[in-house]
Each structure stands twice: as structure tokens, then as C-alpha cells.
Structure 1
């Protein structure tokens, strides 16, 4: 019989290895009840060893570099990327925010998918660098390697001169009542500017973003036309979205393969 300390260490190891775990799956793996796993997650969260979220837990901190984050949870991000791809029309000028899910999107786009793509991510621009029919524009500014993005006054000024048909904006946290949030003020300011200049706006949301404590709000959910969610998005969060924002178009990904 597994000791409680051994079970909790197994949970911490699984979170560090996989990035995100579900309480129901852990209960099956560790041959115990979901109630026991939820108590363990609560205690491990209080001890600062992981972050408890709806239905499970995630790593306390993201991977150290953008390059590492770009390779984390790739199957989930690719499914979200396919949902975002459906938002892009061939004649669009598309403003794509930096982020690992958007890099996954860039890797599946084809030349001619849009008239032009503008981004503050050098990695996204490089992924699209072979395009000839679709114009690729990289925004200037101060490069932040941890985020894989350019930010600052110069970036904001360039965005202010744009009139994109579609903005794809990254999300660090979702508060159904208050709106969308980012993890730092420079990032929030740029996302807010992207929403302001674009005719249509879409965002993809990983499940754990509904529980993220990102501090800097950048936009109301009313500003988003389409929200792409995972197939197993938290039911309570989805119900609240539909209740408070009936105008919001919710798209769900296909189910991830086991």
C-alpha cells in the first residue's frame, strides 16, 4: 500500500513531468479516490509545490524560456491552433500576438492563407519566412527573450498605425466577469492596443488559464468575437461564459488522442 508521502511525491513528479494533470486521471493511476487526490492537491498547493486549478493541477512556474514553453503541451496547443486557423480568411490582414500557441498556429499555416500577417514575435515571423503570397511583417520594439516578443513604445506606435481585419491575442488569464488578463503591464498594453485597432478578434484559451492569477487586465470579453476552448474546458467556466456573454462565439477543439 502506498504511503501518503509517496503518493504526494508521485503527484509532484507527474506535474513537473507533464505540466498539467487531472485529478480523475491521478486517482486512476494511484489507485485512490478523487477526494483523496483533491486533498493532496490542496496541501501541495499550500506547500508551494504546484498550483491547483479546476479539475487538477499545473506546474507552479512555467518553463524558464520561450523555447521550452513552445515545446510544452504541443498536442493541446496544436488543437487550439487548428481552431484559430478557421478564423483566418484569405483576404485578411492578421495581427498575431506572440505566444507558444500562436507559434504552433504559424507552423501549420500555408502560404496564401491571408493577405498579410503582422506579428511581434520573431519566432512566428521566421516560421512564416518562406511565404511569398502572404506578406510577413515583424513589429519593431524592445525584444524580451523570455516572452519571445517585442514590446514597448515603438511596438505600440506601430500597432496604432495598423488596421487589421483580425487580431489573434494571447491570454494569460480569463476572468469571466472582469475580462482577459496578461502577466505583465507591457504585455497587457500591447494586447489592449491590438484589440483596439482590429475589426475582429479571437483568442485561444488553455483550460488552466481560467484559474490563472494574471494581474493585468487588457480587454473585456465583449471585445472578443471568437473564443477557442479545449474540448474538456471546465464546464462551470463554460456555463458562466454562455450566461454572461451570450454573444460570444465559443469553438471547441477536437478531443485530444489518448
Structure 2
């Protein structure tokens, strides 16, 4: 009878509960988990992990974020927990930080790499950070001398990014020295892809407002198939990626004349 109760749809099976317990252990240790890394650690499919994260979020134990999850208390109880201990050690973010200007206006997009980069921005009044990401704004604003602007707009619950008319209008009136962009993929003909039309319009506006554009991405982000084209690879000034980036992407960047910085694998 106990076995039937575990599988009658009202409670997770034993294997699912064990997975979710392990996910929570990882989350408490690191402050944040990534879907791909959890899937590899547990030897299950990414979608299985996403299903577990949804279930744990429904229970109020965590909050899903771009590509993974954070503890439910991270934003509402103790802000320092939101910044995972290893954020500043993210290899792509650390490599991208080499391109941060000493002064000026910097745009930082949404996502795990962007959040890690926000933690690496120098605490100086010479820099101003502009973002459409609530997590990025929270991370960057921990630097007391740094001026941080969150552009506002409709919030996407998947990654806490913002878009819509308010965001687009704000971008029409600002100038950006260096933009660090995230993508949902690169097409075979060299177009940068966004997940949906709203995100594409915001990213396109950022490119138009920026003197220099840097794409920051882990290999998995470059291989996903985003829905909407918003810019060409040739419009980038730099591409910052990890060591597992495919030769196809690197070849596209070379053909477009875009310098590539490859982050060393994390040790």
C-alpha cells in the first residue's frame, strides 16, 4: 500500500524524492544550482531536473532562476546568500571581466554568467551599471560606490529579466560604452538568437545603443536554438566563451572577424 501511495500522483516516488533531497543539499552548499550540472551529477536528463526544480519551487524550497535555481530565502531573507560563494570564480565571467572599462557606462544582461560578472565589477564611482536583470542589479548594488540602474519593465519569471515598452523607451535615451550580452543561441548563418520577440527587441536596442558589444556565454547557450534573430555575429566586438565551445561556433566567429576569448576550465 505504501508503494502505491508513492506513485498515485499525490507524492513523488522514492527516486524522485531522493533526487530532490540531493538537489537541496547542493543548493544549500553552493547557494545556486545549474540544471546541466545537476543533471550530469545525478545522471538524469535536463528535463528531469527542471521537473524536480518546479516541484521544489511549488513547495517553496527554492526559486528557479536563469538556467537553474536559488534558495527561496535568498532574495527575501538574506541578500548575501543570493551571491553564491563561487560567483566570482565563474570562468567565463572572470575572462569577460578583463574587458570591463575603467570608467563609463556598462550594460550587463541577464543569466548566470551575467550575475557572476556583476560581482566582479569594480567598486568605483567611475563606472555605472545598467541592466534589465533584477538579480544583476542586486548583485552589482552591493558595491557601495557603484551606481546601478535597473531599467524596469515587465518581469519574466523564468530569469527575472525585464522587457516591454518601458524598457525599450529607456534604452532609446541612453548611451552605453560596453554591453555584455547573453543569447539563446547562434544560428548556422551567424545570427544571434533570443528566446522570444520581447527579449529580441531589448537586445537589439542594447546593440544599437552600445559603442562596444561583448557576448558572454557558456557553450550550452550557444548551441540552443533560440526563436528570434536580433543581430549578426559580425556586430560583436568580442566573444567570451568557455573551453567546451564547439568548433562550429569558433569558425563562425573567425569568419565574422570577431576576436574570441576562451575561458580556462574551472579547477
Q: What TM-score, normalized by structure 1, do the two folds share?
A: 0.71
Q: Does residue 139 of the first structure (1) align with residue 158 of the second (2)? A: no
Q: Secondary structure at the match of 2:192?
A: strand
Choose from 18, 30, 38 the match for 2:37: 18
Choose from 112, 134, 137 the match for 1:122: 134
In 2, the alpha carbon distance for the partners of 1:102 and 1:201 equals: 14
Shift in alpha-carbon separation, 1:252–1:102, aligned structure 2, 3 A:
same
In 2, the alpha carbon distance for the partners of 1:133 and 1:76 equals: 19
Where in structure 1 do 4 or more consecutive aligned residues deviate above 6 Å? 74-77
- 2:88–2:120 CA contact under 8 A, matched in 1: no
Shift in alpha-carbon separation, 1:59–1:250, aligned structure 2, 3 A:
farther
- 2:104–2:128 CA contact under 8 A, matched in 1: yes
- 1:76–1:256 CA contact under 8 A, matched in 2: no
- 1:70–1:100 CA contact under 8 A, matched in 2: no
Choose from 134, 156, 159 the match for 2:168: 156
What CA deviation, in whole Å up to 9, does each residue of 1:142-191 have, x standing for no partner? 12222211110000000111111011111110124141101111011100
User: In structure 1, what is the equivalent of residue 261 of structure 2?
Assistant: 251
Q: Once superposed, what is the RMSD of the aligned Cα atoms?
A: 3.1
In 2, the alpha carbon distance for the partners of 1:105 and 1:17 equals: 20
Shift in alpha-carbon separation, 1:115–1:70, aligned structure 2, 3 A:
farther
User: In structure 2, what is the equivalent of residue 92 of structure 1?
Assistant: 104
In 1, the alpha carbon distance for the partners of 2:146 and 2:117 equals: 15
Q: What TM-score, normalized by structure 2, do the two folds share?
A: 0.69
In 1, the alpha carbon distance for the partners of 2:238 and 2:155 equals: 29
Choose from 105, 118, 124 the match for 1:112: 124
User: In structure 2, what is the equivalent of residue 46 of structure 1?
Assistant: none
In 2, the alpha carbon distance for the partners of 1:61 and 1:173 equals: 21
Worse-matched range after superposition: 153-162 or 169-178: 169-178
Following superposition, the deviation at residue 114 of structure 1 comes to: 5.1
Task: List runs of 5+ in structure 1 lacking aligned partners.
Answer: 1-12, 27-48, 51-57
What CA deviation, in whole Å up to 9, does each residue of 1:91-145 have, x standing for no partner? 1200111222101111233302852001111211111223333211111211222
- 2:185–2:221 CA contact under 8 A, matched in 1: yes
User: In structure 2, what is the equivalent of residue 4 of structure 1?
Assistant: none
Shift in alpha-carbon separation, 1:240–1:156, aligned structure 2, 3 A:
closer
Following superposition, the deviation at residue 17 of structure 1 comes to: 7.1
Shift in alpha-carbon separation, 1:17–1:193, aligned structure 2, 3 A:
closer
Shift in alpha-carbon separation, 1:19–1:227, aligned structure 2, 3 A:
farther
- 1:107–1:127 CA contact under 8 A, matched in 2: yes
Shift in alpha-carbon separation, 1:125–1:210, aligned structure 2, 3 A:
closer
- 2:93–2:117 CA contact under 8 A, matched in 1: yes
Following superposition, the deviation at residue 240 of structure 1 comes to: 3.7
Worse-matched range after superposition: 215-224 or 204-213: 204-213
- 1:166–1:198 CA contact under 8 A, matched in 2: yes
Q: Does residue 181 of the first structure (1) align with residue 199 of the second (2)? A: no
Following superposition, the deviation at residue 209 of structure 1 comes to: 2.7
Shift in alpha-carbon separation, 1:240–1:144, aligned structure 2, 3 A:
closer
